[in-house]
A and B are shown apart, each in its own frame.
Chain A
Amino acid sequence: MTVTESTSTQTAALSIQDLHMSYIVRGTPREVLRGVSFEIRPGEAYGLVGESGCGKSTTAYAAMRYLPSNGRITSGKVLAGGRDLTAMSSKDLRAFRATEASMVYQDPVQAVNPVHRIGRQVAECFEIAGVPKGQCKDRALGALKQVRIADPTSVMERFPHQLSGGMLQRVVIAMALASDPKLLVLDEPTTGLDATVEAEVLDLVRDLSAETGAAILLIAHNLGVIRSMCDRVGVMYAGRVVEEGSVEEVFDTPTHPYTVGLLNSIPRRGIRKTDRELFAIPGNLPSIGDPLPTCVYVDRCPIATDVCRTDVPPRVDLDNGHFTMCHHADNISSVPGPEDTEWNHEIGLEEVIGVENVSKTFHQRGVDIPALVSVDLGFADGETLGLVGESGSGKSTLAKTMLGVHEPDAGGAITLRGRPMATKATSRNEESIRSIQMVFQNPDSALNRSWTVRRILTRSITKLTGLSGAAADARAVEIAKGMRLSERHLDMRPRQLSGGLKQRVAIARAFAGDPDVVVCDEPTSALDVSVQAAILNLLGTLQRDERTSYLFISHDIGVVRYLADRVAVMYVGRIVELTTTDKLFEGPNHPYTEALLSAVPSVDGRTENRIPLDGEIPSPKDPPPGCVFHTRCHRVIEGTCDTQVPELKEIAPGHSMACHIPAEQLVELQIRR
C-alpha cells in the first residue's frame, strides 16, 4: 500500500478530470458535480466519502456513464483505460460495460431480477461478453463457486427470493466479476448487511480483486469499511474532492476541516457518552445547484476567515500525494473537537421495566417457531441497554414483545416497577402505554405525512398524558425545544424536513408522555454520520435530563459502545451474553460476541484477525440441538456443545454468558480489543 506518484507510463484504470454534471430539474440545470478530479491506478482501491448529497454516488455512476434521464455531463472527462466514456458510442459503451467495468450497489435483493433463476442471470453476463452459448452455464457455475457461495449447483436453479441478502450480494459480485473487469465500482455494497456478512463480502471483494487485478472505486458512508478496503481515499463535499490521500494519512492526520468534522462525528477509539459528545457538523450540505462561495465548506467551517470568502482555496500538497483544498491547512489543529460531557448521572438501582422469562413462539402452518426463548432483562432507571446480534437473532421481536405488539407465551411477563403489565398493547392501561415508547429506524414511515409536526406531537401528548388544547400545545413547543427543533418546524409536514429532523420529531413523539423506557430500533442507521452524531448526542442529553432508559438496538457496534451502559448479545432468540459495555470490550466474550466484534471494520485501522462465521444464522424453526451456536462456533467442543444446552450464568459480577467453555479459558484464548 505504498503510494507512488502517478506515472504517465501507466494508464489509469479510471481517471476523472474536472467533471461537471447537472441534473435538469423543471427545465433548470442544477449542478451536482462541480469539477471532480481523481485517478485510480490499475489494481488500486480508491474510496470516496462524504455526506449524502455530496455527489459520491453520482460520480460512481458517471464512471459507468449511467446517468439518470435528467443528468447531463456539462464538461470534463471520464477516462477508463485511456478512453473517454463521455465520447463513446452507445455500442462501445455496452461493450465497455460488458467486458471492462462492472458495478455493485446497495440492496442486492433489488439488484437481481425476481422472475429469473440465478443461473440464467449469471450466465447472461458471459453471453454478453461473447462466451460461446454452450459454455455460459458452466462458466456461471464457476463464477458462483468463485464467490464461495454455499451449494452453488442448487443456487443456480433457485429464484432470488429464495436466497438471503448476503448470498444475493455474492451473486451480484459473481455477475460483476464475470467479465474479468479492469474496474469495479462499488456503491455502498455492504450497507444494510450484517457486520458479519459485511466482513465476508469485503474479504471476498478484496481477495478476488487482488486475483484479477481489478481497480476498485468504493463508495461507503462507513469510514471503517473504507479504511479496511482502500489504498487511497477522496473526501467529497458539494460536488468536489476537498481532500485526498492514503487512507492512513487522511484518517489519521486529516488536513481539511470537513474531514476533521466527519471523523469527529463518529464514535471511535472507544469513546463513551460519559467521556464526551460526538461532533455534529453544524448546518447542512448545500443543495445541488446552489451557488457556492469560493470555498465550498466555508459556511460550516469553524476556522473560516475572510480570505476563505474572497479567494478559492489553493491545492495544498503534503507528503505522498496527500493534498487538501484549504487556506488553513497548516492551522488544522485549531478546529475545535467535540465537547467533553459532564456526565454526573448515576444509573438508578430500581428496575423500571423488567422482562421476565419471556418466550415468544409463533405458529405458522402448524409449525412452532420459537422466536424468543426465556429472555430475562431488566432496565434500571436512566440506563441504556444495547442489543446486538445478526438479523434474525430476535432483536426486533423482543422489542415488539416489550411494546405489546406480540403477546409473550404463558409464563413470561413484562413488568413495570415490579408489577406485571398486560401483555397486549391494546389491553394495557394508560400508565403502561406511556411508560414504553418506540423510535423506529425509518422516520418516513413512522410519521403521518399529511400531519404537521405540531399535530403529530399534540396528538401523542393528548393520548399519553390527557393534556389537551392549549396545554398540549404548550407542551409540544416545550418538547420540540428540547429536541432542538424550532417553532418554525412545528408547522411543517414531515416531507419538508430532512432525515435528521424527521428522526428528531419521531424522538419527540416518543418522549411526549415522559416515558420510562424508549425502545430505539436502529434509530440512526439511515442517517449520515454527522446527523447520527447529533441524534446520539440528543439521546444522551435526554437521558441525562429525563433519566429515561433505552433499549438500543443497533448493528453498529461502535454506536452501541458509545451509548450503551450494558450490552445484551442475542442469537436465535436467546441471550448468549449480557454484561457492561466496558466488560464486553475487555472480554472474555462468548465466542459469538467474539466473532461479532472481530467483524467490525474500524476507521482507526486496527483490524485484527477476523473470526469468520460460516453459513447463515439458523432458522428459529429448527434451532440446532445443544448450544444453538455450536454449528458456527470456532471453539466448539465436540460431544458437549452439540448435546448440552449451556445455561446463561454469571461468570463475574454483572457479566453473564451462556457457554460451556470456562471463562478463565476464554480469557487465555481471546485477544483483547
Chain B
Amino acid sequence: MAFFVRRLLLSLITLAIILTMITLIPFVAPGDPARKIAGGTASPERLAQVTESLGLDASPPVQLGRAFKSVFTLDFGEAFTKPGESVVGLVSAALWKSGKLVLFALAVVLPLSILGGTIAAYKKDTWIDRLIVNVGLALSSIPEFVGGVVLLWLLGVKFEFFKISANAPQVRDGAELVDPGIITQLHHLLLPVLVVLFVYFGYIARVTRAGVINALDSDYARTAFMKGLPTGTVFRKHILRNALQPTVAVVATQLGYMLGGMVGLEIVFNYPGLGRMVVDAAQTSDYPLLRGAVVVVALIYMVATLFADLIIAWMNPRARLGGEG
C-alpha cells in the first residue's frame, strides 16, 4: 500500500514538472501566437489587445499558476486556433478516436504476439522460433509511416476490401451527422491496426518469449510436468502467470506512446487522433491545446503504469504481500 502511495506521489511530481515545462515553452519558443491570430499587418494596439485576451501578457509565475489551476478545474480554456471550442472538448474527441484505435490494436496485437512469443519459447532454437523472432524483428524495424504507406498501396488500393482512410465518414441520421456503426469503424481501422501489429509484434513477442523460456526452465515448471499435467495445463496454470509479468510492464509503458505518439500513422491514414493534435498544436503555437493534450497523454501514461503494477501485484503474491522470504 505504501508502495502505491509513493508511486502516486512520484506521478504527481512528474506531472507538475511536465506542466511547468509546457507552460514555460512560450517564453523560449520562437513565434508569437498573438501575431498569428491578429495577422501580420495588425496594429500594435490590436496586437496588445489580442495578447491580453490570450493571457500571454501575464508573468511566468502567473501563467504557471493558471496552468496548475487549469489541471485542477479541468478547464484549459479555448484553443487559440479554434476560437469558441474548448480544449477539453477537442482533446476528449481526439482521445476518443485514439482510444478506439489503441483498444482495437491491443485486442489484435496482444493475443497474437503473446501466442507467437509463447510458441517461439516452446519451440526454442527450432526453425519456428527463428521464423517468429526474425519476422517480428524485420517487421518492427520498418518505420510506421513507411509500413503504413506500403500497406495502403498494397492492400488499400489494390484490394477494395481495406479502407484507405482510418476515419469512417460520418453518416446522416435525420438532421445530424453521426459516427457510423462500430463494425464500419473497425473496418476502417483494420489497416492502421495492421501497422501497429507490425510495429509491436516483434517487441512484445520477444519479451514474452524471454519470460516463457525463463519460466519453462524453472523448477516449478518441471514439478508441474512431473505431476503428469498435460502441456496445455502446465502453460495455462503454471507458466504464463509467471512469464507474462514483464510483458504486462512493457505493454503499459508502450500504451502512452500508442495513444499520443503515433503521429506518422495518424497522418498516413488521415486519422484525427491525439498524436496529430499534439503536433499540430505545437506547430501553430496553440498553447492551451498543447497543454491539455500533453497533460492527458502524461496522465494516461501514469495510469497505465500504475495499472500495470496492480496487475503484476495481482499476478505475483511476492510483490503483493511482501513478507519474509
A residues apposed to B, CB below 8 Å: 64, 66, 69, 93-99, 102-103, 105, 107, 110-116, 124-125, 128-129, 159, 161-162, 172, 175
Contact = CB atoms under 8 A, between A and B. Distances in A.
B310 to A, nearest CB: 15
B238 interface: yes
A113 B228 contact: no
A111 B223 contact: yes
A103 B226 contact: yes
Given A107-B219, A111-B219, A161-B318, A94 B228 contact: yes
A312 B110 CA distance: 60
Report, as a range, how many residues of chain B touch the other chain. 20 to 34
Given A111-B219, A114-B220, A159 B227 contact: no
A286 B103 CA distance: 58
Contacts of B219: 105, 107, 110-111
Interface of B: 124-125, 218-220, 222-230, 237-238, 241-242, 315-318, 321, 323-325
Contacts of B218: 110
Contact of A159 (B125, B222, B228, B321): B321
A112 to B, nearest CB: 6
A110 B220 contact: yes
B222 A98 contact: no
Given A115-B315, A115-B317, A128 B222 contact: no
Query: Which of B226, B230, B316 is most buried by chain A, counting CB atoms within 10 A of its CB?
Result: B226
A128 B229 contact: yes
B130 to A, nearest CB: 15
B228 A96 contact: yes
Contacts of A95: 228
A69 B121 CA distance: 12
B222 A94 contact: no
Query: Which of A102, A107, A113, A125 is most buried by chain B, counting CB atoms within 10 A of its CB?
Result: A113
A115 B222 CA distance: 15
24 contacts: A66-B222, A66-B225, A66-B226, A69-B125, A97-B226, A97-B228, A98-B228, A98-B229, A102-B226, A111-B219, A111-B222, A111-B223, A112-B220, A113-B238, A113-B242, A114-B316, A115-B241, A124-B227, A124-B229, A125-B227, A129-B228, A159-B321, A161-B323, A172-B223
Given A159-B321, A161-B325, 9 more contacts: A69-B124, A97-B227, A98-B229, A99-B228, A110-B219, A110-B220, A115-B241, A128-B227, A128-B229
A195 B218 CA distance: 26
Nearest to B221: A113
B57 to A, nearest CB: 53
Contacts of A94: 228-230
Given A112-B220, A114-B220, A114-B316, A98 B321 contact: no
Contacts of B316: 114-115
Contacts of B323: 161-162
B279 to A, nearest CB: 42
B228 A115 contact: no
A110 B237 CA distance: 16
Given A97-B228, A98-B228, A99-B228, A114 B318 contact: yes
A128 B223 CA distance: 13
A99 B227 CA distance: 9
Contact of B317 (A96, A159, A175): A159
Contacts of B225: 66, 97
Contacts, number: 73
Contact of B242 (A66, A102, A115): A115
Contacts of B242: 113-115
A72 to B, nearest CB: 15
Nearest to A125: B227
B125 to A, nearest CB: 8
Nearest to B220: A113
Nearest to A102: B226
A277 B241 CA distance: 52
A467 B226 CA distance: 57
Nearest to B323: A162
A273 B55 CA distance: 89
A472 B193 CA distance: 64
A124 B230 CA distance: 12
Contacts of B237: 116, 124
B1 to A, nearest CB: 14
Nearest to A99: B228
B226 A64 contact: yes
B35 to A, nearest CB: 60
Contacts of B317: 114-115, 159, 161
A162 B318 CA distance: 9
A93 B228 CA distance: 8
B229 to A, nearest CB: 6
A191 to B, nearest CB: 13
Nearest to B218: A110
A27 to B, nearest CB: 11
Contacts of A113: 220, 223-224, 238, 242
A172 B222 CA distance: 12
A124 B237 CA distance: 10
A64 B227 CA distance: 11
A111 B218 CA distance: 8
A129 B124 CA distance: 30
A113 B315 CA distance: 12
A111 B222 CA distance: 8
B220 A111 contact: yes
Contacts of B125: 69
Nearest to A115: B241
A423 B128 CA distance: 58
Contacts of B238: 113, 116
Contacts of A128: 227-229
Contacts of B227: 97-98, 124-125, 128, 175
A224 B214 CA distance: 35
Contacts of B220: 110-114
Nearest to A106: B219
A94 B229 CA distance: 7
Contacts of B325: 161
Contacts of B228: 93-99, 128-129
A99 B228 CA distance: 8
A112 B242 CA distance: 12
Contacts of A98: 227-229
Given A96-B228, A124-B229, A128-B228, A112 B321 contact: no
A102 B229 CA distance: 12
A558 B238 CA distance: 40
A10 to B, nearest CB: 26
B201 to A, nearest CB: 25
A94 B237 CA distance: 16
B213 to A, nearest CB: 11
A38 to B, nearest CB: 21
Query: Which of B219, B227, B323 is most buried by chain A, counting CB atoms within 10 A of its CB?
Result: B227
